[in-house]
Amino acid sequence: MLRFVIIAALTLAATPALAVETTAAPVATAPLRHGQVVRDVSGARLGAIDSVASDGTIGLIIDGDYVRLPASVVTNVDGKAQTSLSKKEAKALR
């Protein structure tokens, strides 16, 4: 019995971890464009893009206020622009 325990312990110590490491493929983002609808983090419509600056900052009108969102908080995947901010957070950037 002791022999079995020793063999089992050695086998487990020599066995590589069974965890599978996966890496997601990078998501290609398309450039944002004038007129494209931007949605907030919950998917609600914020407004259409009015301007796109050379640094990627976008301008849009939310509830009558002109707001500029930095490129770091806006993604454009499969032609759908979405921000990682809520509507309230986006409006606070005006």
Amino acid identity, residue 77? V
Domain, as residue range, for 46: 26-91
Residue 2's pLDDT is 67
Residue 78's pLDDT is 83
Residue 52's pLDDT is 95
User: Half-sphere exposure of 92 toward its Cβ, with a 13 Å CA cutoff?
Assistant: 5
Contact predicate 69/57, CB 8 Å: yes
Mean pLDDT in each 10-residue stretch from start to end of the chain (94 residues)?
Answer: 65 56 57 94 95 94 94 90 94 88
CA 31 to chain centre: 15
* Total domains, the chain: 1
Residue 58's pLDDT is 95
pTM of the model: 0.67
Contact predicate 83/46, CB 8 Å: yes
Encoded tokens for 38: 């931007």
CATH number of the structural domain spanning residue 64: 2.30.30.240
The verdict on residue 66 lying in a domain is yes
The verdict on residue 11 lying in a domain is no
